[in-house]
Amino acid sequence: MAEILFTILGECASKANSRRVVRIGASSRMIKSKKALDYTPHFRAQMPVVERPLELPVVATITIWYASRRPDLDESLILDLLQVDEKKYKDKKGVILNDRQVREKHIYWRLDPENPRCEIRLVENADLDSPKQKRARKPRATR
């Protein structure tokens, strides 16, 4: 089982609660907040370079240390940023191929005003793709 462990310094931005509406021509679109957009290159610059990204199902343990009590716990931006996506991020970095590989998540909220950060541990686990138990059969109806 392959494992990747690393820390990203700086306060994580939320993806879910901070969308904003922008006008593009005659239509409106929802985009990430300015904080989330600014956090993206900061995160990608600190992400480790791996020989090959994880390809099997993954267990993710992420501890997000916030600078204040205000932010909600939200790992969705982190999971997006972990992916290999040269078109989106204009780099060849990435530690997983797709965030759908994450089959089990352990997400923790912590407070550290002096040193906000994200501690990330990803472990491949092929067993997460195989059924461990057969489905129980429904009992037959009796006449």
| Distance from the Cα of residue 127 to its chain's centroid | 21
Q: What value does the mean pLDDT of the chain take? A: 87
Question: Taking a C-beta distance cutoff of 8 angstroms, is the pair 92, 86 a contact?
Answer: yes
Q: At residue 133, does pLDDT exceed 50?
A: no
CA dihedral sign of residues 45, 34, 64, 104? negative
pLDDT the model gives residue 60: 98
Q: Residues 74-132: pLDDT tens digits?
A: 999 999 999 998 888 888 899 999 999 999 999 999 999 999 999 999 999 988 887 76
Q: Residues 31-63: pLDDT tens digits?
A: 677 888 889 999 999 999 999 999 999 999 999
Tell me if residue 44 falls in helix, strand or coil: helix
For 101, the token pair is: 């590989």
Phi, psi angle pair for 56, to nearest 5°: -85, 175
- Fill in the DSSP letter of residue 54: B
pLDDT over 90 for what percent of the chain? 62
